Amino acid sequence: MLRTPDADEVIAAALAEDLGVSALRILDPRLASPDLLDADVTSTATVVVAEVSGRVVMRSAGVVCGLPVVARLFELLSRACASEPVECDPLVAEGAIVEAGTSVLEIAGPARVILAGERSALDLMMVLSGIATEARRWQEAAGPSLVVTDTRKTLPGLRELSKHAVRVGGAVNHRAGLYDMVLIKDNHIAASGGVAEAVRAARTRYPDLVVECEADTIEQAADAARAGADIVLLDNMDDATLASAVVAVREAAGERACLTEASGGITFGRLPGLAATRVDRVSTSALTLARPLDVALDLD
């Protein structure tokens, strides 16, 4: 589920950027005014009809993502303009796989509100559908034994929505940020005295959080597992080294569960080989940095 306050901030920022106003004009109901629509100078000058209707159309094949975001965008914009609401009726489910040319959302309401929000709505849906489509492509290629996860490499401000799109596409989220999971990387190891020391310190300080530790060698991987890591990140290893590291981690962990994750130098073409190493999961920024799909609004 999307965290509504986070989504609202992203939506407000997108609308504010396009309308040339403060995001507070979108978020604070006390500032609602029809004058906000005057910021759209083209529609102010040319639009003469009060109401319009149309459809959001996927111009590219892929996974549909962002339908609730579009509906929320027009809800916030209508409120900010003190306008009658825009009706958004989905024609497919969030996460549906569609062909190019498929209509996915019917929209109807005040013409100037719809035109003022059109670009922001489509931009968000383009980005999210692109991420969801790439997430699905990777997870399907990885097969049932290898879990594909995203990373923190997201467009600034779009992390929560980007991770929603990854889930919609069928892949899995890694940590949300610096606050919800311990991920010990090479610079942490260098500043703490070693792999085992870093893992033990993290386990002591945050006993209730998942602790993951990066390892560049098989020896480091085994050390991290013995020290109590929940996940060992096997960084920039070829398939043969990775397979050996997976065995070493499981032997070092003993009866305790310890997942393995491949990261660094991960490409789509490597997925069959990675699955064969028996690593538990693979993380890649390719999901959240995916190319947007083409989405349009066609008015009647």
| 203 a catalytic residue | no
The pair of structure tokens assigned to 125 is 């849906």
The pair of structure tokens assigned to 145 is 């034994």
Phi, psi (degrees; rounded to nearest 5) at 291: -70, 130
**Catalytic residue, candidates 79, 152, 153, 200:** 153
| 134 a catalytic residue | no
Whole-number Å distance between alpha carbons of 237 and 217: 8
Per-position DSSP letters for 49-95, written without gaps between them: -SEEEEEEEESS-EE---HHHHHHHHHHHHHHTT-PPPEEEESS-TT
| 159 a catalytic residue | no
Phi, psi (degrees; rounded to nearest 5) at 194: 145, 170
| 119 a catalytic residue | yes
**Catalytic residue, candidates 118, 134, 212, 235:** 235
**Do residues 85 and 20 lie in contact, with contact meaning Cβ atoms separated by under 8 Å?**
no
| 214 a catalytic residue | yes
Q: What share of the chain is helix, strand, coil (3-state, %, to 5)?
A: 50, 20, 35
Whole-number Å distance between alpha carbons of 94 and 51: 27
**Catalytic residue, candidates 3, 59, 185, 205:** 185
Whole-number Å distance between alpha carbons of 242 and 244: 5
**Catalytic residue, candidates 18, 75, 106, 119:** 119
Whole-number Å distance between alpha carbons of 1 and 160: 10
Which residues are catalytically annotated? 119, 153, 185, 214, 235
